[in-house]
Structure 1
Amino acid sequence: MTSDTPSASDPAVLRRVAAAALLGTAIEFYDFFIYGTAAALVFGRVFFPGLGSAGALLAAFSVYAVAFVARPLGAVLFGHFGDRLGRRAVLVVSLLLMGLSTAAVGLLPDHGRWGVWAPVLLTVLRFCQGLGLGGEWGGAALLLAEHAPPGRRGRYGGLLQLGPCAGFFLATGVFLLLDGVLDEAAFLAWGWRVPFLASLALVAVGLFVRLRVAESPVFRVERVRPRVPVAEVLRRHARPVLFGAGAVMSGYALFYLTTTYALAHATADLGVPRSPVLGLLMAGSVLKGATVVLSARASDRFGRRRTLLAATAGAAGWSVLLFPLLETGRTGWIALALLGAMALLGAMLGPVAACLPELFPTRVRYTGTALTYNLAGVVGGATAPLVATRLTAAYGTAVPVGWYLAGLGAVSLLCLLGLPETRGTELDAHGRRTPAPDGGAAAAR
């Protein structure tokens, strides 16, 4: 890199940025994940009584999907101000929106007290959650990518991807603890609200850390401020947005089908107790974190696209085995199914926080990165649990869900083949993407 390129930050600054990105993302994903766990376990009975078990679950997952529709809108909204005003301030606002919306869910009366207004307000609050998270991940990824040197960008991006692992571990752990100390009546009456209200304390900690982070050095020297960043992204960078979203979508689907739909299917349809499944998912989040680190570092050595191709191919193959193993109802096979899925998921997600920012120039990088990542969530996160619920109801078994998931993996592989290799790209002071002369190998070393 040239001497005037500011992304080669002081190590102390880079460590502070990494800590703030990891902590803030963990908190935001904790907020997001507790809804998914509550939707699988209690929301059907609390907010949609009288629809029957399948209908109530489908209704809960439909509201769950609303956030994924809101996330691209949040990406455009927060991306607009992130590309025009800066990354840091926008990340503070997204954290506040997410935390306050989550806490409000914990205070929301149930259907028995507010009738139809209870699920209506739940939908509104879920939409606000989606808006907040739509701006979170992209901005945090940019802070790391624009501070880190290209030879270690994958490694630092992997730290960001540990945030969802930590958020999921914490969210699942809270529900597991409540399940162990409360009976069913207390859990349905008020216990499920505790994780949502606890978000307020977590957000206060996150704000304290995030307000101490410096603005991205690459953004500070970028003089071009597009009036409407999303218009430029769609006009000039539609290919990386579409192919990038397609490449990431199967990872979204694998995660939410494993952690949300499989949880609901195992406990409601197969009669497996909640606690063992929650415990396995917590163990899976630890394993996922380990493979995130390994694949993120591998992407610095072997390339982003090559690492993602290998991980996505492995996940597509595992998808065919996931639900047959789950439907045995035996703890050992269920453990193999869930832990294998989570390990492959971590390998898929590790390089993403470095890869997506490298696809866009500085002036529209926030909007481009956030929009790509969150469009993937519409197909992979919003529709996958709904499709899975209908497939299981139609065929009487969840085995076809695995083939559906494998099909999404095949589409992701084709999209990855349409993306360039970005390892070694320099996010320079003038907003250009400048590949290293040897394709990134020197930077990786």
Structure 2
Amino acid sequence: MTAPATAPSSDSLERDARLLHKDGKDIRPGEIAIGVIIGRTTEFFDFFVYAIASVLVFPSYVFPYVDPLTGTLYSFALFSLAFFGRPLGTFLFTYIDQHHGRGVKLTIALFLLGGSTMAIAVLPSYAQVGATSAWLLGLFRLLQGVALGGAWDGLPSLLALNSPNDRRGWYSMIPQIGAPLGLALACGLFAYFLALLEPGDFLSWGWRYPFFVALALNIVALFARLRLVATPEFKRLFESRELQPSPPFETLFAEWRTIVLGAFAPLASFALFHLVAVFPLSYNQLFTDTDPVRFLIIEGVGALICVMAIVASGLLADRVGRRAVLGVSAVLIGAYSGFAPQLLSAGQIGEAIYLLGGFILLGLSFGQSSGTVNSSFAQNYRYTGAAIVSNSAWFIGAGFAPLVALWLAAHVGLWAVGLYLLSGVICTLGALLINREWGKREAEQAREAEAAV
């Protein structure tokens, strides 16, 4: 009788990752933080490479049969597909995680992310294959989102669970650093090739190189993250159900209230995220004569300033509380929305003020926007619940922001972009207020129950 075939396992992948870093010591929170930053930087790098190309390349490469504004709007519509793919990835890769292990899940997800990003680098143009070019681009973008949804590994939760109670704000901001670092790297690469090449060469082949970098970065991130998910501490938390995936639909029905609050709480920062990182480049390209290299350099510098503001948010949160930082920063973003978008039409100085000021506010708010309500999840739903919250918040707050903002700027005016941003601020403040009231009510019920006993 032949032995039954065994299901794929992550044991060998995790063992190889451990051997690459074997030093005989337990992995400390600082090492977890480095792994988290590496993982998030590569993920956001893949996304921002696509976002920049959506402005500088795809309108003329994939949609040359329409005017530049319409072509950019079409590109941003495809940009939004990834945010539809993220929840699909969560459902699919949760199944893989439960049946084949975390190593298999992460390996497939990160290779899918890097592979779909790299596939865009060999995308044929409309001149070569007609409308098939747009269909292929949409497919690759959707696969990016599926991969990002599947790449959720619980490492930010592991970092938070290993942090001291009085340092939760500091450790909560660490995963957020990866976003501006990924943006700075993407801006730097595109600025380099734009400055180095003639416009024709850049549109012919130069734009492809940043996409090729993605696969190499994802391989590095894969081993860094496999090593961490193979640690005894992660395994203990996984086996105790704190980091064990639960069925997505069961989690959704059991924890819908926490998921809704968690999705709306960070909307101010998530909307601002793409309104300073993606939309301004499209406005600059379509409505001004500013050199895109200069603009990308300013964006890259702004992203690095954003890193410092994220670090500052961690220090502030440990002093005054995470919700206080998120609430105050939302109010500041509301004030910013009243005047800042108009600065994009006020020349180079206005653009710089809009970008740098926006990145400072983004860092303060984004640094504490992740996992604000995750502690409210029941222990056995925390892992999957946190992934659903993250996907929902990005979909509602950021998925359509560049598309909506560019349409409003072109057809209504820049002041309408400010109103759009203000709507995210109202959602954030409302969610924080409701969460506080529910927290008070639950605390009172707990005290009454103790008194009755």
Q: Which moved more, 1:58-67 or 1:235-244?
A: 235-244
Pair 1:370 & 2:387 matched? yes
- Counting only pairs closer than 5 Å after superposition, residues 255-274 of structure 1 correspond to structure 2 as 255-274=273-292
How far the C-alpha of 1:58 sits from its partner, in A, is 0.9
Q: Which moved more, 1:302-311 or 1:383-392?
A: 383-392
Which SS does the other structure have where 1:418 is aligned?
helix
Q: Which moved more, 1:245-254 or 1:100-109?
A: 245-254
> Could you tell me which residue of structure 2 aligns to residue 56 of structure 1?
71
Pair 1:231 & 2:246 matched? no
Normalised by the size of structure 1, how large is the TM-score? 0.86
- 1:328-369: per-residue Cα shift (whole Å, max 9, x none)? 12x222111111111111111112345243232332222211
* Contact 1:105–1:125 under 8 Å retained in 2: yes
Which SS does the other structure have where 2:91 is aligned?
helix
Shift of the 251–258 alpha-carbon distance from structure 1 to 2, 3 Å rule, reads same
> Could you tell me which residue of structure 2 aligns to residue 401 of structure 1?
417
> Could you tell me which residue of structure 1 aligns to residue 14 of structure 2?
none
Equivalent in 206, 221, 224 of residue 191 of structure 1: 206
- 1:98-122: per-residue Cα shift (whole Å, max 9, x none)? 1111111111111111211111111
- 1:130-183: per-residue Cα shift (whole Å, max 9, x none)? 112223356332232233333323212212111111111101110111111011
How far the C-alpha of 1:288 sits from its partner, in A, is 0.8
Between the aligned partners of 2:63 and 2:250, the Cα distance in structure 1 is 42
Between the aligned partners of 1:130 and 1:117, the Cα distance in structure 2 is 20
Which SS does the other structure have where 1:15 is aligned?
helix
How far the C-alpha of 1:249 sits from its partner, in A, is 2.1
* Contact 2:79–2:141 under 8 Å retained in 1: yes
* Contact 1:147–1:218 under 8 Å retained in 2: no
> Could you tell me which residue of structure 1 aligns to residue 142 of structure 2?
127
- Counting only pairs closer than 5 Å after superposition, residues 262-341 of structure 1 correspond to structure 2 as 262-329=280-347, 331-341=348-358
> Could you tell me which residue of structure 1 aligns to residue 428 of structure 2?
412
* Contact 2:238–2:244 under 8 Å retained in 1: no
Shift of the 370–178 alpha-carbon distance from structure 1 to 2, 3 Å rule, reads same
Which SS does the other structure have where 2:65 is aligned?
coil
Between the aligned partners of 1:317 and 1:111, the Cα distance in structure 2 is 43
Pair 1:351 & 2:380 matched? no
Between the aligned partners of 2:209 and 2:89, the Cα distance in structure 1 is 27
How far the C-alpha of 1:60 sits from its partner, in A, is 0.4
Shift of the 313–88 alpha-carbon distance from structure 1 to 2, 3 Å rule, reads farther
Normalised by the size of structure 2, how large is the TM-score? 0.85
Pair 1:222 & 2:240 matched? yes
Equivalent in 390, 393, 396 of residue 379 of structure 1: 396
Unaligned runs of 5+ in 2: 1-24, 440-446, 448-453
* Contact 1:312–1:348 under 8 Å retained in 2: yes
Regions of 4+ moved over 4 Å: 79-89, 223-228, 420-423
Structure number with greater Rg is 2
Q: Which moved more, 1:221-230 or 1:186-195?
A: 221-230
Which SS does the other structure have where 2:57 is aligned?
helix
> Could you tell me which amino acid in structure 1 is paired with residue 359 of structure 2?
M
State the superposition RMSD in angstroms. Answer: 2.6
Between the aligned partners of 1:166 and 1:421, the Cα distance in structure 2 is 36
- 1:385-407: per-residue Cα shift (whole Å, max 9, x none)? 22222222322x32211121112
> Could you tell me which residue of structure 2 aligns to residue 33 of structure 1?
48
* Contact 1:84–1:225 under 8 Å retained in 2: no
Which SS does the other structure have where 1:382 is aligned?
coil
Structure number with the bigger relative contact order (C-alpha 8 A, sep ≥ 6) is: 1
Between the aligned partners of 1:11 and 1:294, the Cα distance in structure 2 is 29
Between the aligned partners of 2:133 and 2:258, the Cα distance in structure 1 is 40
- 1:7-29: per-residue Cα shift (whole Å, max 9, x none)? xxx98432222111110110111
> Could you tell me which residue of structure 2 aligns to residue 155 of structure 1?
170
Between the aligned partners of 1:355 and 1:233, the Cα distance in structure 2 is 18
Between the aligned partners of 2:438 and 2:306, the Cα distance in structure 1 is 24
Between the aligned partners of 1:217 and 1:419, the Cα distance in structure 2 is 31
How far the C-alpha of 1:374 sits from its partner, in A, is 1.5
Between the aligned partners of 2:146 and 2:116, the Cα distance in structure 1 is 10
* Contact 1:80–1:230 under 8 Å retained in 2: no
> Could you tell me which residue of structure 1 aligns to residue 183 of structure 2?
168
Shift of the 263–333 alpha-carbon distance from structure 1 to 2, 3 Å rule, reads same
> Could you tell me which residue of structure 2 aligns to residue 98 of structure 1?
113
Unaligned runs of 5+ in 1: 1-9, 424-436, 438-445
> Could you tell me which amino acid in structure 1 is paired with residue 422 of structure 2?
A
> Could you tell me which residue of structure 2 aligns to residue 426 of structure 1?
none
- 1:213-255: per-residue Cα shift (whole Å, max 9, x none)? 2342553341599996222322221111111111112222111
Shift of the 60–114 alpha-carbon distance from structure 1 to 2, 3 Å rule, reads same
> Could you tell me which amino acid in structure 2 is paired with residue 401 of structure 1?
V
Shift of the 88–348 alpha-carbon distance from structure 1 to 2, 3 Å rule, reads farther
Shift of the 291–285 alpha-carbon distance from structure 1 to 2, 3 Å rule, reads same
Which SS does the other structure have where 1:355 is aligned?
coil
